[in-house]
């Protein structure tokens, strides 16, 4: 077990050094080229962010589903969605704890789809589509 962890750490360190080229001075270094507006990026120069107080939006608009309240269901879900070039949020999907049920996944999807626009992510000076993962905790009390 320790040998496997050690090997994993060495591989990760080697990969880190492999990609640590200076992109500004090395003409052979790989460049990120955005050739299609349908591409969705994970690594960005500027990450997307809400143009408003996200916590206040959630406090005002997120509703604890009655079915979950009635059964005492609590828990955290992680939702993944795309921040589009114009800042709208799309394609929400629960990526962790989707089996919590009792209306919680549906409420998370609703709150993302109804959210006001965000400031989109940027890469090479351009707005780009990008993924965001956000945890939302449902807790009584």
For 30-39, the pLDDT digits (tens) are: 333 333 456 7
pLDDT beyond 50 at 19: no
For 85-128, the pLDDT digits (tens) are: 999 999 999 999 989 999 999 999 999 999 999 999 999 999 99
Q: Residues 101, 72: contact at Cβ < 8 Å?
A: no
Report the predicted TM-score, pTM, of the whole model to 2 decimal places. 0.71
Q: Which two tokens stand for residue 11?
A: 């591989």
For 78-95, the pLDDT digits (tens) are: 999 999 999 999 999 999
């Amino acid at each position: 077990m320790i040998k496997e962890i050690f090997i994993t750490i060495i591989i990760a360190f080697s990969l880190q050094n492999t990609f640590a080229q200076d992109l500004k001075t090395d003409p052979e270094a790989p460049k990120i080229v955005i050739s299609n507006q349908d591409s969705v990026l994970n690594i960005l120069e500027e990450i997307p962010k809400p143009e408003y107080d996200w916590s206040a939006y959630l406090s005002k608009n997120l509703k604890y589903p009655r079915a979950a309240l009635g059964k005492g269901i609590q828990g955290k879900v992680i939702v993944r969605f795309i921040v589009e070039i114009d800042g709208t949020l799309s394609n929400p999907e629960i990526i962790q704890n989707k089996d919590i049920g009792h209306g919680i996944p549906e409420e998370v999807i609703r709150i993302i789809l109804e959210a006001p626009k965000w400031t989109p992510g940027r890469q090479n000076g351009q707005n780009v589509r990008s993924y965001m993962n956000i945890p939302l905790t449902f807790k009584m009390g």
